[in-house]
Amino acid sequence: MRRILCASLLSLCLSSIAEDDISIIRPAATKEALINPGMGWVHFHYSNRLWAYGGFQPPGDTLDWFPGCSTIYFRIPWCYLEPQEGKFRWDLIDSYAQPWIARGKKIAFRVIASEDRFVFATPEWVKDAGAKGIYYQSGQKYSPEAKLWDPVFDDPVFLEKLGNFLAEMAKRYNGNPDVAFIDIGSFGLWGEGHTGYSSKLNQEQTDSAVKLHIDLHKKYFPDTLLAISDDVAGPTRPGAHFPTTDYAFSRGVTLRDDSILVGKAPRHWFHAEMAQQFWPTLPVILEHGHYDWLVFQKSWDPELLVRSVEEYRASYMSIHGWPEAYLRENRDAIDRINLRLGYRLELREVRMPKSVKLDEVFTIETTWANVGVAPCYRGGNIAFALKDRKGDIAWVLCDQSLDVRSLPAAEPGKAKEIKHASSCRVGIVTPIPTINEGVILRMKERGTYPPFGENVPTLKTGTYDVFVSVGMADGTPVIALPLNGDDGRRRYRVGEIDVE
């Protein structure tokens, strides 16, 4: 029986229009925050200090209550992870990472070698092994007066010990699908790539050292997204191209800006121009300063936070503060950012036959648009699943001819619609040959006698619900869509079809 279900019957925001033998379905996009690969809000569990900002979260809290939060971030001094040479404290990561991984979320890292809150961010045993370094007084007002120690960042002993550590870390995390990205954070104060408070390297020395650290990380993490701080080019030097960031880009290392809103407007950020080289092919990461400090010094501006996502074409945004207060005090800006951060794939229209015949080719036409600021870098294919009235999948149609990575990012309200036709076929009719009479008799006794000598379909005729998804080439859903009708597996019901 041919039929079209209206929105009220589907419990979806759909409009179905009869056009001969075609169902035309125009889903209404929701405004929900989506958790998707390669994008989202990043929660600072460790921000150099082990108590901030996740230290007071209850065990197992994966910030599901914070809309769009996809990643937990560990910015941690090397001394904590390898307090003795060859002895590691991975439990400082695993204990908090595992609940996030279990929820399908991601983890990210920065292991730093320079800190101004205590003497040795690089483990003291590295110095004792002969690594050269410098003692200095911090220029930060909140730091104690005790002397601090920084390594010479291109010293051979330091690089050897760092390489050994990265090799061990890579055994756990290189190519690990649960890792969103790893910062190259082994150079400069807090891993940000500047040494103005310690060794005070000039820019030429910085450029040379940074390239060594990029190469070292690429050696051990060839299969993981790496990021470099914009500050390696000079924290306040505006411009699009610098030797260090150009070199990072050439090695497939992406950009993160560590200093959004640290300065008051109009010096609220410096490297949006630099990001233009990166965002077409690599996800840009944004980090603003410590939230409470920015509010205290009156440089915090939610409108500028929203604007930073647009100017940088950002895929990740930090939660660099206590997350409960951050959400409570910035909810409107967060909701607006969630509609633009990274990619956001909208299904604008579906055109499909009201009925099809077994084993015959038919076409489903779809219209798509990416309303986010960035591409869907990892891509994905569309698929259609037919479910029976019990909700079980009866047939899956995968279309590899459209990669959603090709959907262009756009300015607000100017997303380009892409129409695509998927060639589909459901079921197949196959003959069952006649077999030995004794076997037939035995099967009849057991009640399993099939219609030997007849043509039978591999898919029963009848009415099926049609679900659409985006993900792997085999039809496994991966990407959440802003649609109602989710079956809990990122498949979305868009209508029904009769199989005759």
* Distance of alpha carbon 480 from alpha carbon 488, whole angstroms: 10
Instruction: Provide the CATH topology of domain 7-32+344-499.
Output: Immunoglobulin-like (2.60.40)
Question: What per-residue confidence (pLDDT) applies to 141?
Answer: 45
pLDDT above 90 for 180: yes
CATH 3.40.50.300 fits 40-338, yes or no: no
Among 44-48, 265-269, 454-458, the minimum mean pLDDT is found in 454-458
For 242-307, list the strands marked E by DSSP. 254-260, 284-288
Average the pLDDT over 81-101 and give the result.
97
- Cross-sheet strand order for the sheet of 418-424: 16-19, 22-25, 345-353, 362-370, 418-424
* CA dihedral over 20, 25, 26, 28, signed as positive or negative: positive
Q: What is the pLDDT of residues 385-408, one digit of tens each?
A: 999 999 999 999 999 999 999 999
pLDDT beyond 60 at 14: no
The 10s digit of each residue's pLDDT in 323-372 is: 999 999 999 999 999 999 999 999 999 999 999 999 999 999 999 999 99
DSSP lists the bridge partners of residue 369 as 346
For residue 140, pLDDT beyond 70:
no
The helix (run of H) or strand (run of E) holding residue 469 is strand 462-471
Per-residue pLDDT band for 177 (boundaries 50, 70, 90) equals very high
DSSP 3-state of 212? helix
Q: Is residue 1 predicted with pLDDT exceeding 60?
A: no
- Confidence at residue 447, expressed as pLDDT on a 0 to 100 scale: 73
Name, in order, each residue with C-beta under 8 angstroms of 160's C-beta and a sequence gap of 6 or more. Answer: none
Predicted confidence at residue 139, as pLDDT, reads: 61
Q: What percent of the chain has pLDDT over 70?
A: 92
Domain boundaries, the chain: 7-32+344-499, 40-338
Can you give the C-alpha Rg of the chain in angstroms? 28
Residue 211 pLDDT greater than 60, yes or no: yes
Tell me which residue of 85, 80, 70, 72 sits closest to 48, measured CA to CA: 80
Q: What is the pLDDT of residues 190-209, one digit of tens each?
A: 999 988 877 788 888 899 99
Burial class (CB in 10 A: 0-12, 13-18, 19+), 420: middle
Q: What tokens does 257 get?
A: 């800006």
Cβ contact 336:307 at 8 Å:
no
Around Cβ 495, how many Cβ atoms within 10 Å? Answer: 24
Q: How much is the pLDDT for 20? A: 77
* 49-70 pLDDT, tens digit each: 999 999 889 999 999 999 999 9
* pLDDT bucket at 491, cuts 50 / 70 / 90: very high
Query: Rounded mean pLDDT of 319-325?
Result: 96
Distance CA 248, CA 22 (A): 51
